[in-house]
Amino acid sequence: MKKSEKVWFDGRLVPWEKATVHVAAHVIQYGSSVFEGIRAYSLPTGPAVFCLDAHLDRLWNSCRVYRLKVPYPRDEVRRAIMEIVIANGHTSCYIRPIVFRGWETFVVDGRSCPTHMSVITVEMGKYLGQDALENGVDVGVSSWRRMAPDTYPAAAKLGGQYINSQFIAMEAADHGYREGIALDINGYVSEGSGENVFIVKRGELYTPSLANSILDGITRRCVMTLAGNLGIPVHEASLPREVLYLADEAFFCGTAAEITPIRSVDGVALGSGKRGPVTTRLMEEFFGIVEGKVLDRHGWLTPVKG
């Protein structure tokens, strides 16, 4: 990624280098932030933001769980996202709104701290590599488990709990994998370090449920909708680890990963070891919509306007 010219910070556009936070800020000391990852895609008519309202819904919901009040009205945040995409001259980009606690105290309960917000945009390619969409990625099951339901709120997108994701990603890289898949506290399949997981068996889709300590992924919801359009059955279920090895196909999905095929798990090739037909159909539908080649029949794309 390369830096952009401007960042929207506490209600105004500032140069990238000026968008700074004090080292004493609660967010640095304790990870007290809520964020979203959103993509804007390049269409023939200009950039458009993918599932903007769904992402804003989740941002507000995550803040509610964390007892963190978004310091700006939703309409203003929506305008800020449009404003920063235009200001940085993006045709496509990754958008990172983040709400966080600043400096007031080192007490763990930081609700007395001032709340800040920024919207960052950067140009972003394929998260798991340029070749990943065509050839798939090799992944390993992580030794790090996802959090138990009474420890962290997996359905909320909180900055501090991404330490868990960092351990998963670092271990995967150290073992020569492109990404890791974590199990939940009961040993069932959960998700990647930053992606939801689907497997394909006998032409049907299976994915962990919200009870398996996963983020309620917005791209995950879109995949399920597309599968319904294509007549592909979808099952949300607790999946034992061995199901990963027995899958005909598997793929990650998420804002960053989009839809990325999984080629092997723990060195075990899935199916033919290549991108499978069900994954291909879903990818064609997904990228057809976000690239403006297929009608956006679900209203997922919001044109960027000043």
Judging by DSSP bridges, how do beta strands 137-141 and 258-265 pair with one another? parallel
Is 129's pLDDT higher than 70? Answer: no
Tokens of 165: 């994701």
Q: What is the pLDDT of residue 205?
A: 98
Query: What percent of the chain is predicted at pLDDT more than 90?
Result: 93
pLDDT at residue 100, rounded to an integer: 98
Q: For residue 219, which phi and psi values (nearest 5 degrees)?
A: -65, -35
Q: Which of 98-102, 220-224, 272-276 has the lowest mean pLDDT?
A: 272-276
The pLDDT tens digits for 244-294 are 999 999 999 999 999 999 999 999 999 988 899 999 999 999 999 999 999
Token pair 């998260």: residue:
127
What are residue 130's phi and psi, to 5 degrees? -65, -30
| Res 213: pLDDT | 97
* pLDDT band (50, 70, 90) for residue 130: confident
Half-sphere exposure (Cβ direction) of 129: Cα atoms closer than 13 Å: 12
Give the model's pLDDT for residue 269.
97
Catalytic residue IDs: 157
Q: Confidence class of residue 128 from pLDDT cuts 50, 70 and 90? A: low
Domains of the chain with CATH codes: 6-122 (3.30.470.10), 132-290 (3.20.10.10)
User: How does the average pLDDT of the chain come out, rounded?
Assistant: 96
* 228 pLDDT more than 80: yes
- Looking up tokens 């007490």, which residue turns up? 107
- DSSP secondary structure string for all residues of 54-75: HHHHHHHHHHHHHT---SS-HH
**pLDDT value for 26:** 98
Q: Is 282 helix (H, G, I), strand (E, B) or coil?
A: helix
Assigned token pair, 306? 């000043």
Residue 15 has pLDDT above 80, yes or no: yes
- At residue 21, the pLDDT reads 97
pLDDT, one tens digit per residue, over 157-201 is 999 999 999 999 999 999 999 999 999 999 999 999 999 999 999
Asked if residue 243 lies in contact with residue 266, where contact means CB atoms within 8 angstroms, the answer is: no
Q: For position 125, what pLDDT does the model report?
A: 74
62-85 pLDDT, tens digit each: 999 999 999 999 999 999 999 999
In this predicted structure, what is the pLDDT of residue 124? 87
Residue 127 has φ and ψ, to the nearest 5°, of -60, -40
- Residue bearing the bigger pLDDT, 131 or 44: 44
What Å distances lie between residue 168 and 27, 107, 173, 183, 198, CA to CA? 22, 29, 9, 11, 18
- Report whether pLDDT(127) > 90: no
Angle, alpha carbons 112-165-92 (nearest 5°): 90
Closest CA relative to residue 28, chosen from 144, 142, 143, 113: 113
Residue 1's pLDDT is what? 79
Q: What is the pLDDT of residue 134?
A: 85
